[in-house]
Amino acid sequence: MKKFEDANVAAVFDGYPRPVRAKLMRLRQLIFDTATRTEGVGKLKETLKWGQPSYLTEMSKSGTTIRIDATKDGRYAMYVHCQTNLIERFRQRYPEALAYEGNRAVLFEASEDIPVNELRHCIAMALTYHRAKRGAAAETKR
């Protein structure tokens, strides 16, 4: 498990109810592992945005920010910027494997295991969102 570099982020994790905290820690680790495995992403910056643990591709600028948090109803979620098309793309690829909230979140039940392979792919898509967008724009210009 990756150590926390930011005490404020660690404090937020410490404040989660135990069952959700364990799931969020696993999701956090999956985000870091996926970043390491995904070409061009580089080191992630872990910080707080809107009080939520957030993961930025600050060095490479290859992707959009991923945020994770517990929900008020006892679930937890992975959020992406609502003005991207990422949730729409996740829905097209994984309509049954994942649950969604609008155009900003993938929702998880604390009592269930996450579909790791599908989620890893979605995380990689978020971490390379800007790079993929730039590539598509270059293709359009040709």
DSSP assignments along 93-114, one per residue: H-TTTSEEETTTEEEE-TTS--
Q: Does some domain include residue 94?
A: yes
- Domain count of the chain? 1
Q: Does some domain include residue 38?
A: yes
pLDDT at res. 1: 82
CATH number of domain containing 62: 3.90.1150.200
Find the domain containing 97 and state its range: 7-141
Mean pLDDT for the stretch of residues 23-34: 97
What distances in angstroms separate CA 54 from CA 6, 18, 118, 139, one per listed residue?
A: 11, 20, 20, 31
Identity of the residue numbered 64: T
Q: Does some domain include residue 1?
A: no
pTM: 0.92
- Give tens-digit pLDDT for 82-128: 999 999 999 999 999 999 999 999 999 999 999 999 999 999 999 99
Q: Does some domain include residue 34?
A: yes
